């Protein structure tokens, strides 16, 4: 078994007070920070440890954390910021919600250590709009940390000061893109900025800023506690440590599972209780809805780490695994995703704003029996002309699923166009959209 | 006719309560001096919670309070999809229909709610109690199907029984 929970604490029932400061401290929390402050550990030593650990960004891009932190102009005079990206809205991803719900102090400790390393005076955690109750919990955790002298002026009696606040989003997927998030933090529409300049030189309010994902910050105390090499040894070379996989869709026990990177997909599927109602696996989107879909035979041979998934033609992304069984109509599934990207395009770049709409409308007409013979080439042509022509990656994310669904399931699209109906009989699909067992269980 | 309507909305317009302003001040304090515009999303959220929706006058009041141009606050209010720029029922129910929720029965949830309330998406019941909305991913796919009540209360793994229970509870509030 490769389950190795570092970040997600063990608990019964709804978790109760597992998130509270006293319980985090009882689990060894804030020991790393206390040691750093007492020993005045140099920033370079911490960065070296993070680099040795192989910790890569957990938000989707997988950028090495130690390297990112080293980009910050530490000695640059004036304010510098550290920002946590908890704007988790990529369909399939729901790990940050559970981290903030059950272990918010790990994120806070990781951010304080980040501030220490990068010389930041102020930080924000940008929390996804739809999880207001989690935002309130994080605010309560911040209050606990302030009262304990872990945040604010002269942290733990030292001359190191750092203020941290929660910022609540209000429903815009694009704000998960780091520069859109910065615009939003400044109180504007969340429209991504051109890069360069990168946030490390021009971030929030034009000041040097580093943005990391929630899980990345939460990993930092654990990496430093066990040491970079030991953390790396938990995973695979180039994919160090543990990762939280959010598994959803047609499985018996959807949820978050923290595993060592490099764990076989089959093992995760087994932990999630296998396929719902004993059905056959058809396809998996392994890294959030913008990651290319993989058919059952390919994913069943994959291990879950950055390199293996990339070699199989997809990406590990945020670790959001969407599982679809044999009753799923792939045209219908793609139609819903294409609608999402069109709906969430910020409208700034023409290829994304218009292209995502074209993609949706073409898939929509195929799904509804109005598809034309030339539509498949047209879809490919539109999807090929968005990536690389937009400011941020949302356009690529809209095009990616279209290309991969066509690559692996073109026959279903052709069948739809030729027969004006679905390859999977509609009655069977209804069956497939069966409410999981736990829903019909009394509350 | 139009001027009569705007006259009416003006006479009905009440400024934000002291409590709402106190909550907004708390948000402003999170940002560096002079950067109070950063609090605009929170301020609009607080205003919407109090008023039920964001009328142009409310958006303008928030903008003035934060010392920013009303059009800049308007841009924010129109960009983020949890802001309501038109009146909604006392209880706004947003159902996620994105792929992971769809694979776990959210279309059944939506159909059941439509049947129970006798409305479609983006409609409000005649008694002004309920508005139904179709939502995007709420970041809770492991608890699918999910719905959101008045933007702030998430209901996870909802079943028909759960919907019946919640509707009765909200109706009696």
| φ, ψ dihedrals at A319, nearest 5° | 80, 25
Residues of chain B with pLDDT under 70: 1-11
With beta carbons less than 8 A apart as the criterion, state whether A11 and A5 touch.
no
Least confident interval from A30-44, A64-78, A380-394? A64-78
**pLDDT confidence band for A259 (50 / 70 / 90):** very high
- Report the SS3 class of residue A258: strand
Average pLDDT, chain A: 92
Distance CA A214, CA A99 (A): 8
From A397, A388, A402, select the one nearest A346 (Cα to Cα). A397
CA dist A241 and A219 (Å) reads 9
**For residue A270, pLDDT beyond 70:** yes
Averaged pLDDT, A304-325: 93
DSSP class of A436: P
**Regarding beta strands A163-168 and A122-127, do their DSSP bridges make them parallel or antiparallel, or are they unpaired?**
parallel
How many C-beta neighbours within 10 Å does residue A408 have? 18
- Cβ of B103 within 8 Å of Cβ of A256? The answer is no
How far apart CA A299 and CA B132 sit, in angstroms, is 38
Q: What's the pLDDT score for residue A427?
A: 65
Write the DSSP symbol of residue B138: -
Complex ipTM tops 0.95: no
Of B31, B108, B159, nearest to A433 by CB-CB distance is: B108
Chain B CB within 8 Å of residue A440 CB:
yes
Tell whether A264 is within 8 A of chain B (Cβ).
Answer: no
Q: Is the pLDDT of residue A52 over 80?
A: yes
pLDDT tier, A441 (very low <50, low <70, confident <90, very high otherwise): very low
CA distance B50 to chain A (A): 16
Whether B162 contacts chain A with CB within 8 A: yes
d(CA B109, CA A417): 30
Task: Report residue A278's pLDDT band, with 50, 70 and 90 as the boundaries.
Answer: confident
- What is the rounded CA–CA span in Å between residue A322 and residue A233? 28
Is the four-CA dihedral B131, B134, B138, B142 of positive or negative sign?
positive
What pLDDT band is residue A431 in, cutting at 50, 70 and 90? low
Contact criterion met (CB below 8 Å) for A255 and A247: yes
pTM over 0.90: yes
The closest CB to that of A189, out of B38, B79, B107, belongs to B79
Asked if residues B85 and B54 have their Cβ atoms less than 8 Å apart, the reply is yes
Is B100 within 8 Å of A128 when comparing Cβ atoms? no
Angle between the B160-171 and B106-117 helix axes, to the nearest 10 degrees? 40
Gap between the Cα atoms of A329 and A409, Å rounded? 10
Domains of chain B: 12-79 (1.10.10.1590), 91-171 (3.40.30.10)
- Using CA atoms, how far apart are residues A69 and A48, in angstroms rounded to an integer? 10
- Closest Cα of chain B to A232: distance in Å? 28
User: Which tens digit of pLDDT belongs to each residue from B44-73?
Assistant: 999 999 999 999 999 999 999 999 999 999
pLDDT score for A74: 87
Q: Of A164, A159, A165, give the one whose Cα is nearest residue A37.
A: A159
In whole angstroms, give the CA distance from residue A124 to residue A167: 6
Count of CB atoms situated within 10 Å of the CB of B29:
11
Q: Work out the number of other CB atoms within 10 angstroms of the CB of residue A358.
A: 20
Q: DSSP state, B140?
A: -
- pLDDT tens for A373-408 read 999 999 999 999 999 999 999 999 999 999 999 999
Tens-digit pLDDT profile for residues A137-179 = 999 999 999 999 999 999 999 999 999 999 999 999 999 999 9
Residue A352 CB contacts under 8 Å (≥ 6 apart), including other chains: A345, A386, A390, A394, A395, A398
pLDDT band of residue A442 (cuts 50, 70, 90) is very low
Q: What is the pLDDT of residue A421?
A: 87
At A192-228, the pLDDT tens digits run: 999 999 999 999 999 999 999 999 999 999 999 999 9
- pLDDT, position A423: 85
B85 touching chain A per CB within 8 A: no
Answer whether A253's CB lies under 8 Å from A273's CB. Answer: yes
- Distance linking the first and last C-alpha atoms of chain A: 31
- Angle at which helix B40-51 crosses helix B70-79, to 10 degrees, equals 70
Q: How far apart are CA A183 and CA B38, in angstroms?
A: 9
Nearest to B35 by CA among A191, A177, A122, A151: A122
Length of chain B equals 173
Q: How far apart are CA B75 and CA B71, in angstroms?
A: 6
């Amino acid at each position: 078994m490769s389950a190795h929970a570092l970040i997600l604490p063990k608990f019964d029932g709804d978790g109760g007070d597992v998130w509270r400061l006293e319980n985090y401290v009882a689990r060894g929390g804030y020991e790393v920070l206390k040691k750093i402050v007492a020993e005045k550990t140099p920033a370079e030593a911490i960065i070296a440890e993070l680099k040795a650990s192989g910790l890569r960004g957990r938000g989707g891009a997988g950028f090495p954390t130690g390297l990112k932190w080293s980009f910050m102009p530490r000695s640059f005079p004036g304010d510098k910021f550290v920002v946590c990206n908890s704007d988790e809205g990529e369909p399939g991803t729901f790990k940050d919600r559970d981290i903030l719900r059950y272990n918010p102090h790990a994120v806070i400790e990781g951010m304080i250590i980040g501030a220490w390393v990068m010389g930041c005076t102020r930080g924000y955690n940008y929390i996804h709009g739809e999880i207001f109750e989690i935002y309130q919990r994080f605010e309560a955790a911040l209050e606990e940390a302030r009262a304990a002298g872990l945040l604010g002026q002269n942290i733990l009696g030292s001359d190191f000061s750092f203020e941290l606040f929660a910022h609540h989003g209000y429903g815009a997927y694009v704000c998960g893109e780091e520069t859109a998030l910065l615009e939003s933090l400044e109180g504007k529409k969340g429209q991504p900025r051109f890069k360069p300049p990168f946030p490390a030189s021009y971030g929030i309010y034009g000041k040097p800023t580093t943005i990391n994902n929630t899980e990345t910050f939460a990993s930092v105390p654990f990496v430093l506690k066990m040491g970079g090499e030991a953390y790396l040894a938990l995973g695979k070379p180039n994919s160090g440590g543990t990762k939280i996989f959010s598994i959803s869709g047609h499985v018996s026990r959807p949820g978050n599972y923290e595993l060592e990177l490099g764990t076989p997909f089959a093992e995760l599927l087994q932990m999630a209780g296998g396929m719902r109602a004993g059905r056959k696996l058809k396809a998996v989107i392994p890294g959030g809805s913008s990651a290319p879909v993989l058919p059952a035979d390919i994913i069943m041979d994959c291990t879950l780490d950055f390199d293996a998934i990339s070699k199989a033609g997809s990406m590990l992304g945020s670790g959001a695994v969407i599982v679809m069984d044999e009753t799923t109509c792939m045209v219908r599934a793609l139609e819903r995703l294409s609608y999402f990207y069109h709906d969430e395009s910020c409208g700034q770049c023409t290829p994304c704003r218009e292209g995502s709409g074209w993609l949706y409308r073409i898939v929509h007409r195929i799904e509804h029996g109005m598809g034309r013979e030339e539509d498949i080439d047209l879809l490919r042509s539109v999807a090929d002309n968005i990536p690389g022509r937009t400011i941020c990656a949302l356009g690529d994310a809209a095009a990616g699923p279209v290309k991969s669904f066509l690559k692996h399931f073109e026959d279903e699209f052709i069948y739809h166009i030729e027969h004006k109906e679905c390859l999977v009989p509609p009655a069977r699909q209804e069956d497939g959209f069966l409410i999981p067992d736990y829903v019909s269980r009394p509350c | 006719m139009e001027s009569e309507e705007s006259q009416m909305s003006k006479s009905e317009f009440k400024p934000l309560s002291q409590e709402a302003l106190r909550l907004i001040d708390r948000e402003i304090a999170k940002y560096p001096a002079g950067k109070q515009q950063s609090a605009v999303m929170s301020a609009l959220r607080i205003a919407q919670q109090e008023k039920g929706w964001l009328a142009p006058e409310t958006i303008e009041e928030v903008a003035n309070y934060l010392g920013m141009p009303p059009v800049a606050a308007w841009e924010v209010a129109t960009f983020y999809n949890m802001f309501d720029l038109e009146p909604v029922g006392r209880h706004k129910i947003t159902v996620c229909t994105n792929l992971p929720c769809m694979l776990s029965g959210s279309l059944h949830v939506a159909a059941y709610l439509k049947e129970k309330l006798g409305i479609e998406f983006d409609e409000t019941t005649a008694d002004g109690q309920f508005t139904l909305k179709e939502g995007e991913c709420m970041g809770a796919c492991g608890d699918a199907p999910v719905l959101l009540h008045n933007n702030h209360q998430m209901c996870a793994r909802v079943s028909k029984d759960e919907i019946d229970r919640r509707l009765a509870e909200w109706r009696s509030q």
